[in-house]
Every structure is written in C-alpha cells, then in structure tokens.
Amino acid sequence: MEGEETYLELFLARCAAQDDLAPPRSPLLSPIVPYDVYIPNSSNPETTFNSQLEEVTETSGNFSSVDLSFLPDELTQEDKDQTLIRSKHETEENCKTKSWQSGLPLPSQQDVGLALNSSGGSNSHSHLHPGDADSAQPSPEKPLSLPLASITPMTPVTPVSECSGIVPQLQNIVSTVNLACKLDLKKIALHAKNAEYNPKRFAAVIMRIREPRTTALIFSSGKMVCTGAKSEELSRLAARKYARVVQKLGFPARFLDFKIQNMVGSCDVRFPIRLEGLVLTHQQFSSYEPELFPGLIYRMVKPRIVLLIFVSGKVVLTGAKERSEIYEAFENIYPILKGFKKT
Amino acid sequence: MNNTAASPMSTATSSSGRSTGKSVSFAAELQSMMFSLGDSRRPLHETAVLVEDVVHTQLINLQAAEVSQLRGARVISAEDLLFLIRKDKKKLRRLLKYMFFRDYKSKIVKGIDEDDLLEDKLSGSNNANKRQKIAQDFLNSIDQTGELLAMFEDDEIDEVKQERMERAERQTRIMDSAQYAEFCESRQLSFSKKASKFRDWLDCSSLEIKPNVVAMEILAYLAYETVAQLVDLALLVRQDMVTKAGDPFSHAISATFIQYHSSAESTAACGGEAHSDAIQPCHIREAVRRYSHKIGPLSPFTSAYRRNGMAFLAC
C-alpha cells in the first residue's frame, strides 16, 4: 500500500504540474467507459482508483527497459484525450439545457447529486477551461464524480434543441502498433499461450488475451493489429500486453506509432424508422438494398462516418478514428431519423 | 396455363409440361416479393405462379452456357452474363451498381465484426472489390468504343429505380408499424438467400457448364430484376385498364385486351378492380406482350438477343 500511495502522489503531482486534470484520466482507465455506467463506480472511488493504479504500476513495471518510449506516447495521448473529453462534455452540456428523455434517468439523477457535492469546488470551472491553472489538487473521491458534475455551464452554450440524450456505445476498436523489431513467428507460436500460427493460410500469428478480451495479428515485420477492445484505452492496454508477451519471449519489442484505425459504435433510437422515406430524401448519401442487406447504409460526409441504420431503430456507426466523430455523427443523424419515425 | 392464348411464352420449348409436378417452387416467396415491389398485401397465387414461369423461362433462355462454350470456359462466370447484357446501357449500369454495392457492403460489415475481419484475412485472397475488379477487367477487354467504360463514371439517376423507391415510399407511408415490419421482411427476400433452392429451380445440375458463385449472384439478381420489371409493367397495365372519365384513348386501349378476354364479363372483372387489389395474371401477360412487341421504326434491330422471339425483361 505504501508504494501505491506515493505513486498516487507522484502521479497527481505530475498531472497538476502539467496543468492537466487528474480526474479525467481515471474515467479513461476505468474499463467501463460509457459514463452512464461508470457513475455507480464513483461510490467506491478509492478502490477503483487504486485498482487502476495497480494495473498501471504492473504494466509500467514490466516494461522497465522501454519505459522511456512509453512516456512520450502517454503525454500526447493525454492531450488528445483532453480534447475528446472536452468535446464529450460539450455535447453533455448541450444535452443538459434540455430536459432529459426517459432513456437515461440514472445518469441525470446522479448528475444532480454529484453537482451538489462539488458545486462549491473550483472543479466545476475546470471542466470548461481545462487549460486553466486553477485546477486544484482534487482528493481521490472527487475525480470520478467531476466529469458530469457541472450543470451550470460557465460559458454560454447554444442549446441544441434536438439533442438526443442517447450515447452510442463503442463496440470494437481496431488499432495498430509497430513493435519495431523482426519477429520469429514460429518461436512466438510455440512458446506463447493462446497463439495460432498457420503459415500456409496466413502469414501472421493470431494471439488472444482474456483481459481485455481482444485478438491480435502479429506479423513478422513487427507490426501488430489489435482488435476487439471496447475503448481506446483498453485497446492501448491490450496492445501493450501483447507487446509485453513478445518482449518476454526475448524480442526487443518497442511500442511505436500506436494508432487507432477504426472505431465502431452502436446505439438504439428506440423507435422504428421508415427507411424507404430516408433513402428517397437522402439519396446522395444513402443506399438501401434490402435483398442484400437489411440496413440502410448512410455515408455521412462530415464527419466521414458510415452509419448502418436498421428498421428496428438500431444504428451502427463505423469508420471513426476518434470517439468524438461517432458522437457527432449520431447527433447529426438523430433529428433526421426522428423525421422518419414510423408511428 | 402456358399453352393457352397467344402468349409469347408458349413459343419457348422449355416451358411446356412444367406447370405441374414441379418440386421446387418459388410461388410463396414470389408472392412476398411482389408485395414488397408494389403489389397488394396478398398477391394472387396464380399471378405468382405465372411470374415464376416467366422468370424461369427467361433465365433458361439466356443461354449463358452457350456463351461460355464460345469462350471455351469451363464454368459460367460473371463475364458471360455481363456480355449478354452489354447492349442495354441502363440495365448494365444497374447491374454494375449492384455488384459494387455488394462489395462495399461486405467491406463495411467486415470492419464491424472482428471475427469477420479475421476470416477475411485468413482466406488469403484479396476479396475487397472483387466483383468490381471482375466487371472492370471484363468491360475493358470487350469495350470497342469506350461506351462501356464510361459507365463506371456515369452518375445519372436511374429513373426506374427512382420510381420504385417513390412507390415504396408511398406504400409505406400509410402503413402502421406492424404492416411495415411485414413489408420490410418481404423486401429482404431474394433469390440469393435461397441459393440451393435457386440452383435446383434452374436445374443447374443438368447443365454441362455450371455457373460459379458470382455468376449465381448475378443470376439471382437478374431473377429479382425480372420480377420487379414485371410488377412495374403490370401496375402500368392495370392503371391503363381502369377507364378514366374523360380519357380520349380509353376505347383504343381496351381493344388490346380482346385477344385474352373472349367474354365481356372477364373484361369487366379485370377492369373493375380497385387499385388496392392484387395484380391479375392477365396484367402480367399483357405486360409481357407489350414489352416484347416494341413499336417503332427500329424495333426489329434494337433487341439483340431475341433468340426465341422473346425479349428479355431483365436485360
């Protein structure tokens, strides 16, 4: 416990020094990213926070030889995550200006409760101005409650009248990373658990791990594809675990150019949609061939996302490189879908 | 029913003796398909059987096997079918768009499910845009005037498809959600979903040269297009048959039906149908007759594939 507490202090000190918010980091480490689910976690902030730290210490410990190459990645990742969190919060703020639909009652109640908790804190400012230096040292239990705490926006936000109140859930993330060393696939397949290698069929090792439940394709050039994770952080974590496995087998594996290639999200608008009407009015974007595929394929231009829209009201969004693109695409399509609601 | 009346189908030899004792029948599926294409909620069984017959005859008479034989190939492939359709620009374009859409859809669906992604990688061959490549390579090889290749860039609106979309939209607007759910299910029916039944229906096993997978997809698509065309035309015919007050040509139009309806009663029966009722076999027959009888100065020269004196609806 000693070691972990000091690590916590160091961690928080580092974050404060960088003018970063410690709180947004913890939700990212949480395995369940959609915030309508992780709010219940905030009731046990200490344990969840510490368990995240355990994971971090564990992984960082074993990569003692390649720690340095990790750090730059993490720093830039944090910046990127800040913008993601910011845009996510903006959408959240927009939603709050309108009364919530019955779809997500739990988060809104929790929001109000948490807002009351930290309404006095300076942290409510820091959400909309994360660059500000006045993000004071928050105590461990605050972090997880903060992201949704602020109900009164500090900057005037134009209310989006058609805000959906529905958040697409990420289903699959495909990422690539370069281990930067030539690999002997046969050796990997022989010594690693859960590895398949059939050179006649495909020139890569297929490895799977249970936590996070993902699959990786490892090529002899050192490049690796990781699929199946449900969030960006999980994909990154899984990729690091695979890299560690390769490292343990004696290869000088590094962790270069980690990049998310594709993100898939899905959600349900909860009403049936009249696809014939949609394909007619949005001809230049949509294709609908029910004999071939039961869903309508909608190619949104901005952001460049492909949406599969089904009669039942389920929507699948794919082709995103960032989470914000999925949210934005869904917010764009929602009013259109409402127009074709089948009563 | 094939051998009665001056039906163009009776000239085709393969259709005789087929109406009874046929084990594989798509009549039930066809009824659903016709509903999804614009027919009433419960299309008539006789109409479905007739449509099945027409489609079957047309596909058999494509004689794609002969084309492959000419080529010296061992299987009927997509190229042979593309060759047969090359004359009709609009239909060719529609077929190409269908093929591209199929490629595009598999690409997207693959990206969503990680298992699909792995399977595709494991299968080794580069499956992306497979059909598009086949089509492009082939048209490249036979194109003399550059017209066919221009088709790939062609972005004109397909009027027939547009009309079908509008009709579907009108139909679905007035449905409630239960009816709409049923409609959607019917729309999803296709010949390609029942591939093995489709193969038996076409009696592929008796052919020397069999079609490959992509060719079967195209054949299923052609069958579906034929049904769609028949419904389109039959709806037009039915609309014509309803005598509108003040229409100056109504007496002339009704004259074309005389060969089928000997008695005044059946004319009245056909003509008196409300719009919402099902398409009758007489509509279908009239539609086929009109389609194969192209009026115009160049009609003997326009249709290049009148092997048995029958025009092809799908191509």
- Residue A211 phi/psi, 5-degree rounding, is -135, 105
Confidence bin at B165 (pLDDT 50/70/90): confident
Q: Which two tokens stand for residue A184?
A: 């002997």
The overall longest dimension of chain B from CA atoms, in Å, is 67
- Mean residue pLDDT of chain A comes to 70
Q: Is residue B314 within 8 Å of B291, Cβ to Cβ?
A: no
- Residue A312 distance to chain B (closest CA, Å): 9
- Residue B292 phi/psi, 5-degree rounding, is -85, -10
| Cβ-defined contact of A279 to B101 (cutoff 8 Å) | no
| Cβ-defined contact of A276 to B172 (cutoff 8 Å) | yes
- Residue A302 distance to chain B (closest CA, Å): 18
A250-303 per-position pLDDT tens digit: 999 999 999 999 999 999 999 999 998 999 999 889 989 888 889 999 999 989
B118, B176, B180 member nearest A215 (Cβ) = B118
Given a cut of 60, whether residue A149 has pLDDT beyond it is no
Chain A: residue whose CA lies nearest to B176: A343
Strand partners, A305: A300
Confidence bin at A153 (pLDDT 50/70/90): low
- Can you tell me the distance from the alpha carbon of A48 to that of A43, in angstroms, rounded to the nearest whole number? 9
Q: Which two tokens stand for residue B213?
A: 């997978």
- Residue A180 phi/psi, 5-degree rounding, is 60, 40
Given a cut of 60, whether residue A137 has pLDDT beyond it is no
B220-279 per-position pLDDT tens digit: 888 888 888 888 888 888 887 776 666 666 555 554 544 444 334 344 444 434 345 777
Give the burial string for B107-131 (b: 16+ CB within 10 Å, else e): ebbbbbebeebbebbeeeeeeebbb
| Cβ-defined contact of B124 to A202 (cutoff 8 Å) | yes
A206, A272, A291 member nearest B188 (Cβ) = A291
Given a cut of 80, whether residue B111 has pLDDT beyond it is no
Interface ipTM: 0.74
The single residue listed with the structure tokens 């326009």 is B302
The single residue listed with the structure tokens 């972990």 is A4
- Residue A163 distance to chain B (closest CA, Å): 25
Q: Which two tokens stand for residue B85?
A: 């359709």
| Cβ-defined contact of A202 to B173 (cutoff 8 Å) | no
**Angle in degrees, 0-180, between the axes of helices A2-17 and A45-62, rounded to the nearest 10:** 90
The overall longest dimension of chain A from CA atoms, in Å, is 65
Tell if the pTM clears 0.80, that is, is over it: no
- Residue B220 distance to chain A (closest CA, Å): 10
Strand intervals (E) in chain B: 75-76, 210-211
- Residue B168 distance to chain A (closest CA, Å): 6
Collect all residues of chain A within an 8 Å Cβ-Cβ radius of residue B176: 343
| Cβ-defined contact of A264 to B111 (cutoff 8 Å) | yes
Chain centroid to Cα A54, Å, comes to 20
Collect all residues of chain A within an 8 Å Cβ-Cβ radius of residue B98: 289, 292
A206, A311, A343 member nearest B184 (Cβ) = A311
Give pLDDT, residue B283: 80
Q: Is residue B209 within 8 Å of B65, Cβ to Cβ?
A: yes
Confidence bin at B46 (pLDDT 50/70/90): confident
Collect all residues of chain B within an 8 Å Cβ-Cβ radius of residue A314: none
- Can you tell me the distance from the alpha carbon of B288 to that of B54, in angstroms, rounded to the nearest whole number? 9
B166, B181, B192 member nearest A280 (Cβ) = B166
